[in-house]
Structure 1
Amino acid sequence: MRARIENNVLFLHHEDLPEFKKGGSVVRNSYFWALRSIAGRSRRYSDWEYESDVWLALGRMLMSFTESGYLVYRETVLEFPLSQGEIPHVLRDVATWE
């Protein structure tokens, strides 16, 4: 998922976020609700926002879904632009450069 950090807020690109689908995959829908539950802002068609207070929980959640093997790796890894600078330590296990 494309990500960026501005003013200690992590933004996940809205086009890369999972979609909730009624009657869809239980894992994918659970992933949607798990990500949404800790987001500071999660409006439809907008980037979701995560304050630094929840980055540890976000990292653990992403790692858990990655290790489950039910989702594609790219869906559970944060992809930062090279211009972002250093990836915060708490997110390094679930992040890479775009």
Structure 2
Amino acid sequence: MRARIEQQILFIHQDDVPPYKKSGSVVRNSYFWALRSIAAQAHRSRDWEYDPEVWLALQRMLLSFMESGYLGIHETQLEFAPNQEIPAVLKPVATWE
């Protein structure tokens, strides 16, 4: 998932957040609601925003879904631009593009 940090807010690109599908997979829908539940802003047509206070929870959530094997790495890993520093708390679930 493409990510960036601006003014201490983590943004996940709107095209990379998991979609909710009424008749979709239970795992994918649970992932959608879990990510949405800790987001500061989660609008349909904008990037999702996460405050620093929830980054540890986000890291643990991404690790959990990553380790489950039900979702692909591109769905559970944060991808930052090469010139962006990755905060220590997010390093276990992040990489550079």
TM-score computed with the length of structure 2 as normaliser: 0.99
Match of 2:31 in 1: 31
1:50 aligns with 2:32: no
Quote the Cα distance in structure 1 between the aligned partners of 2:33 and 2:20: 8
SS in 1 for 2:83: helix
Misfit runs of 4+, over 2 Å: none
| 1:56 partner letter | L
Match of 2:89 in 1: 90
Q: Percent identity?
A: 67
| 1:14 partner letter | Q
Q: Which has the higher helix share?
A: 1
Deviation at 1:23, TM superposition (A): 1.1
Ranges in structure 1 where 5+ consecutive residues have no aligned partner: none
Match of 2:62 in 1: 62
Give me the CA root mean square deviation. Answer: 0.5
Ranges in structure 2 where 5+ consecutive residues have no aligned partner: none
| 1:74 partner letter | H
Quote the Cα distance in structure 1 between the aligned partners of 2:43 and 2:15: 12
